[in-house]
Amino acid sequence: MITQGAARVVSDTCLPVKVFIGHVLSLADKCDSLLIPVVRSTKKKVYNCSRFLALPDLTRAVVPDAPPILEIEFDYSRGTRYLYRQIYSLGSHFTRNPLKIKEAAGYAWETHLKYNEMTVKQKITRIEAIDLIMNETIGEPVKDNGAELTIGLAGHPYVLHDEQVSHNLIKRLRAGGIKVLTPEMAPLITDSDSNGHTQFKGLAKNYWESEEDMIDAGEYYTRIGVDGIIGSMAFACGPDSLMMNLVQRQARNAGIPFMCLTVEEHTAEAGVVTRLEAFLDMIYRTRRSKAKCV
């Protein structure tokens, strides 16, 4: 799928877009239409990646045989009235009854809030939360099971949770008895901690929305004191190269080991495994040496 997507775009296109085009190609002959949302902005003066904003037009250009594309734009700066018009415009493809469209939109919003609450309170990944919602079951918080280490992952969900792109990073860590934290597990707003400091997500203000989540995750990891932070970024992503450096500075200032993994379509699994094992071994050695000193 990645190879087919990469063959349709120019070489300097980032890996997530290549994966996206590969997904489009795999779905082209299996559906009547494709829904490609454009998330321009969900906060004031914070915007999404420009390449993601062009996904509908890019799809039409590089996959001319794709089925009809349905679009909806989310733009905080244009107000709620514009959002409502977008919702009804999309819903009109399926029904002319505005009440049904309103009901569907309300159900979608409630599901979204439930999804966010599950990832934070139960400390589960996005994929696990989606599975629970689709099966209408209630999951239990991920147990530590005597985990010796807690590792925080910094990166975009389309990199961390794609097993092919990340080379099963989360599963590999959990298989080693390590507790894994991902950015969506960072609390949005919580009560003050025992030291009287208000704990909340959103301390960093950046131009790029997806990068802001990464910075917030780094702040959360350093505040709770994880044993290590692993940053996973896609090759050729300009904002990532800047924001991952900021996460590294957060880790350095907190005295937490940090490793950055850059992935692309040519990344070898053996290289990822070797670096991961070396990073974890370094943390274990450091802990043993400190224990001897005590």
pLDDT at 294: 59
Q: Where on the phi/psi map is residue 140: left (φ > 0), alpha (ψ -120 to 50), or beta?
A: beta
Give CA–CA dist 157/287, Å, rounded.
30
Residue environment code for 171-180, b if the CB has 16+ CB neighbours within 10 A, otherwise e:
ebbbeeebbb
Which token pair is 37? Answer: 């949302």
pLDDT at 102: 95
The single residue listed with the structure tokens 């949302």 is 37
pLDDT at 174: 93
pLDDT at 109: 93
Asked whether the beta carbons of 84 and 92 are under 8 A apart, the reply is no
Asked whether the beta carbons of 169 and 155 are under 8 A apart, the reply is no
Q: Domain segments of the chain: what residues?
A: 1-94, 96-142, 150-293
Query: Does residue 203 sit in helix, strand or coil?
Result: coil
Which residues are CB-neighbours of 235 under 8 A, at least 6 positions away? 14, 15, 262, 263, 264
pLDDT at 193: 45
Q: Which residues of the chain register pLDDT less than 50? A: 189-204
Which token pair is 100? Answer: 């049904």
Which token pair is 218? Answer: 């780094």
Give CA–CA dist 15/164, Å, rounded.
12
Give CA–CA dist 212/146, Å, rounded.
32
pLDDT at 142: 60
Q: What is the pTM of this model?
A: 0.85
pLDDT tens digit sequence for 58-107: 999 999 999 999 999 999 889 999 999 999 999 999 999 999 999 999 99
Residue 185 gets which letter from DSSP? G
CATH of domain 150-293: 3.40.50.11900
The single residue listed with the structure tokens 């919003």 is 109
pLDDT at 197: 38
Asked whether the beta carbons of 138 and 144 are under 8 A apart, the reply is no
Residue 48's CB: how many other CB atoms inside 10 A?
Answer: 17
pLDDT tens digit sequence for 98-112: 999 999 999 999 999
Q: Among the residues of the chain, which ranges form H helices?
A: 2-6, 15-27, 50-53, 55-62, 79-91, 98-121, 126-135, 157-160, 163-166, 169-175, 209-224, 238-254, 269-293
pLDDT at 144: 58
Give CA–CA dist 40/35, Å, rounded.
16
pLDDT at 188: 64
